[in-house]
Amino acid sequence: MQFLNLEAKILEILKYLNIKNFRLAKEYNEMPVDIAFVEGTPTTREEVLKLLTIRKESKILVALGTCAVTGGVPGLVNMMAKKEAMEVYDGFPPDVPIDPKPLEYYVNVDYNIYGCTFSKDELIELITSLIIGKEYRDKEYSVCVECSLRENNCLLDDGHLCLGPITRGGCKALCPNNGKMCLGCRGPYEDANIKGHIKILQDMGFTKDEIIESLSLFSYEKFKEVISWLKEE
């Protein structure tokens, strides 16, 4: 829905893109399309099938937002017993529930737009790149980079469990700018030294459980190996 919040920009974007299928904002749907933006992640068999169709019917598939990119908060259920998860869903489990996975678990994803909510600036950057034929690259550095460029006081120094060092940059350090620790909503980047950061957090006095809880919030799927390593450590 963040798409509709692009406001002024959307008019400009519409000059170049012809929106054929927008389930929440437009009445009729046409396929195939050049670019499909998929928000969220499938949690039922039907949704998986729908995703496979979208992939077949589009030239470019963009995973939009954390749930699509990392499995996101729904990925948390992977940590719990199925029974518990159903309790969380208040007795109304999604029909034939399946584990929420990143979209790339099912289909090839051409581009990822990270964040919860995803960054409008990056979406515009991607669309611009597609229109002018420029390469769009994922940020390969952390939130700390953008945080330091803004001369913020580091929240780690004040004893907060900030995930900035292992979280992919691109949000312009939205949370730390507002004095809130980075919860890792954009997921880890490829080069992240996750074990190094765990060591830092342990030296600061955080327990294994606290660290695992924090890593699991947005990207359990991406961190699960390091989490099982940490549990045994």
Q: What is the rounded distance in angstroms from the CA atom of residue 198 to the CA atom of residue 200?
A: 5
Closer residue to ligand SF4 (CB): 102 or 164: 164
Could you say which of 42, 72, 74, 176 contacts ligand SF4 (CB under 6 A)? 176
- 152 scored as a contact of ligand SF4 (CB under 6 A): yes
Integer angstrom CA distances of residue 231 from 208, 210, 225, 227, 228 = 7, 12, 10, 6, 5
Q: What is the rounded distance in angstroms from the CA atom of residue 53 to the CA atom of residue 180?
A: 40
- 209 scored as a contact of other proteins (CB under 8 A): no
Helix (H, G, I), strand (E, B) or coil at 71: coil
Query: Considering only 33-41, 94-102, 187-195, 207-215, which stretch makes contact with other proteins by CB under 8 A?
Result: 187-195
Q: Closest Cα partner for 34 from 60, 3, 63?
A: 60
- 188 scored as a contact of ligand SF4 (CB under 6 A): no
Q: What is the rounded distance in angstroms from the CA atom of residue 107 to the CA atom of residue 205?
A: 41
Could you say which of 12, 34, 46, 210 contacts other proteins (CB under 8 A)? 12
Could you say which of 33, 62, 127, 144 contacts ligand SF4 (CB under 6 A)? 144
Give the shortest CB-124-to-ligand SF4 separation in angstroms: 23
Please count the other Cβ atoms lying within 10 Å of the Cβ belonging to residue 196.
10
Instruction: Give me the residues that bind other proteins (CB under 8 A), please.
Output: 9, 12-13, 16, 124, 127-128, 131-132, 134, 140-142, 144-145, 148-154, 156, 164-166, 189-193, 195-197, 199-200, 203
